[in-house]
Amino acid sequence: MITRILTWLGAIFVRFIRYLGEIVLLAADTFRSIFTHPIRWRLFLNQVVEIGLLSQLVVVITGAFTGAVFSAQTYFQFNKIGMGSAVGAVVSVAICRELGPVLTALMVTGRVGAAMSAEIGTMKVTEQIDALRALAVYPTDYLVVPRALAMMVSMPLLVAECIAVGIAVGYLVAIFLLEVNGTYYMANMVRWTRNRDIIMGLSKAFCFGILIVFISCHKGLTAREGAVGVGRATTEAVVNGSLAVLICNFFLTMTLNIIYPAGYQ
Amino acid sequence: MISVRGLVKRIGAEEILRGVDLDVASGETLAIIGRSGGGKSVLLKHLIGLMRPDAGEIWIEGQNITQLSERELAAIRKKVGILFQGSALFDSMSVAENISFPLREAGERDPGVLRAKVREMLEVMELEGEEDKMPVNLSGGMKKRVGLARSIIRQPSCILYDEPTSGLDPVVSDSINRLIRRLQRRFGVTSIVVTHDMKNAFHVADHIAYLHEGRIYFHGTVAELQQSSDPVLQDFLLGRSEQGAAVSSPPS
């Protein structure tokens, strides 16, 4: 019985390590291709539109309502101890360092990661990727490189937008709905929010972008068994991408906090 | 031009190809026939490096392609075109974009040259005026023609056809057969046609190879195949199942 459980756990572990290995190999292949083969700029721009431009509404709404609710909740707690004017600082730092990058990454995983794995997966099961290969086009160059580059460019911009909108809406809620003193709010926010908080958020955005694009493209490239396989690949891309964002966020926070420590120093 | 030696391929626990030996001369048209699921398409995909064998060698123009990496195979793939069973058109591109895709990937940017080449291919395929349609709006026969146009626009020296008439009505199948013949005459290419449609095989082939239980069971001319009294070949040619053959054979 114990042997069977250990064998089962061992098989899961080996499958997990192989999955990680495949993603790392895909990433290595992509970066090698970026530096050694011509980049298809038209496809890159198409992907920037798909990932960056068409995610605007989702990201703006996410940022706005996160900023609004976080501002309100912080005020409700802080006001009890007479620190209502500190809301700005808390909202700003939290959105820059955690909420902005993580929530944007989760929204992009759902919107873009799913689309990527579904599109590439459909191409895989309808032999379109084989057709690319037969026409002497390397699939990584054509499918993964433009998406990876577009994601690396778009994610930091989307997160910057989410942070800006979140802070702005948080300010509006605090000042006009909760009647916090605007001058103190701004003074505290500016005092406690440093460049390193913004850099940390944008660094996380870049890392999350890389995670999302390789997990999604890998799932698409390895999709099997027709429509069911594509559906499964899409679901797994979203689930794995979201989990990877949340797990890596912890390690990134711990690591980046050494480089960009939080607080007023 | 193409030489296959001892090709073995397993998929899962099943051994699909069990040591295939095959030679195709330059300019020849070979039809590979065999039962559905017998490994014909698997063999064809090996010839362009889309699948890797477990053992054996494939020589194309003096080069063993089984030892080449995916990027190194690009040079061979520029010389060999393939028509996929399901056409495998890029569904996000129009007919014209699909056909001109290989040229654009080869670095051709002049819209005039691309337009002229696409027009020429559409004329060969008898698809004039269809260049702006999307693949989803094409019939099965039209998709095959567009797929074929895409695979020959770079003028390969060899074309592989994977079930070119499957799923088509007899009239469209006949037009595809005539098209394959016309391409052979016009461009003088080596052709390998995988099919289980005997009419298609007899119409287009100079030689026929019968793939049976993972090996080439017969390789000869169309006339030799038709005159053969081998019961395995006869069963296939007459479309007799094993039960049917048992019923029709006299009791011993």
Cβ atoms of B193 and B200 closer than 8 Å: yes
Who among B82, B84, B105 is closest to A137 (CB)? Answer: B105
pTM for the whole thing? 0.88
> Would you report the helix, strand and coil content of chain A in percent, each value rounded to 5?
90, 0, 10
Report the gap between the CA of B187 and the closest CA in chain A (Å): 19
Inside any domain, residue B73: yes
Inside any domain, residue B250: no
Inside any domain, residue B249: no
Tell me whether A225 touches chain B (CB under 8 Å). no
pLDDT in tens, A34-92: 999 999 999 999 999 999 999 999 999 999 999 999 999 999 999 888 888 889 999 99
| Res B2 pLDDT > 80 | yes
Domain boundaries, chain A: 1-32, 40-259
pLDDT in tens, B199-235: 888 888 989 999 998 999 999 998 888 888 888 888 8
Who among A123, A128, A136 is closest to B77 (CB)? Answer: A136
Mean pLDDT, consecutive 10-residue stretches, chain A (265 aa), reads: 91 94 96 94 95 94 96 93 88 94 96 95 93 94 97 96 96 92 90 91 96 96 89 95 96 91 67
Phi/psi at A239 (nearest 5 deg)?
A: -65, -50
Cβ atoms of A63 and A162 closer than 8 Å: yes
The count of structural domains within chain B is 1
Residues of A with Cβ-Cβ distance to B148 under 8 angstroms: none
| Res B237 pLDDT > 60 | yes
Question: Given this model, what pLDDT does residue B236 score?
Answer: 83
Name the amino acid, one letter, at A173.
Answer: V
| pLDDT range class, residue B243, cuts 50, 70, 90 | low
Tell me whether A138 touches chain B (CB under 8 Å). yes
| Res B251 pLDDT > 50 | no
Inside any domain, residue B158: yes
Q: What is the largest CA-CA distance in chain B?
A: 73
Cβ atoms of B138 and B146 closer than 8 Å: yes
| pLDDT range class, residue B248, cuts 50, 70, 90 | low
Coil/strand/helix, residue B189:
coil
Question: Given this model, what pLDDT does residue A264 score?
Answer: 58
pLDDT in tens, B51-101: 999 999 999 988 999 999 999 999 999 999 999 988 899 999 999 999 999
Terminal C-alpha separation, chain A: 57
Cβ atoms of A223 and A121 closer than 8 Å: yes
The verdict on a CB contact (< 8 Å) between B84 and A131 is yes
The mean pLDDT of B173-193, rounded to a whole number, is: 84
Inside any domain, residue B99: yes
Tell me whether A135 touches chain B (CB under 8 Å). yes
| pLDDT range class, residue B252, cuts 50, 70, 90 | very low
Helix (H) or strand (E) holding B168: none
Inside any domain, residue B239: yes
* Alpha-carbon gap, residue A244 to A48, rounded angstroms: 23
Who among B73, B74, B86 is closest to A127 (CB)? Answer: B86
Question: Mind giving me the DSSP string for B237-251?
Answer: HHT--HHHHHHHSPP
Q: At B147, which CATH number?
A: 3.40.50.300
Most confident of A235-249, B125-139, B141-155, B207-221: A235-249
The verdict on a CB contact (< 8 Å) between B74 and A130 is no
Range of the domain at B6: 2-244
Name the packing angle between helices A100-108 and A145-172 (round to 10°): 130
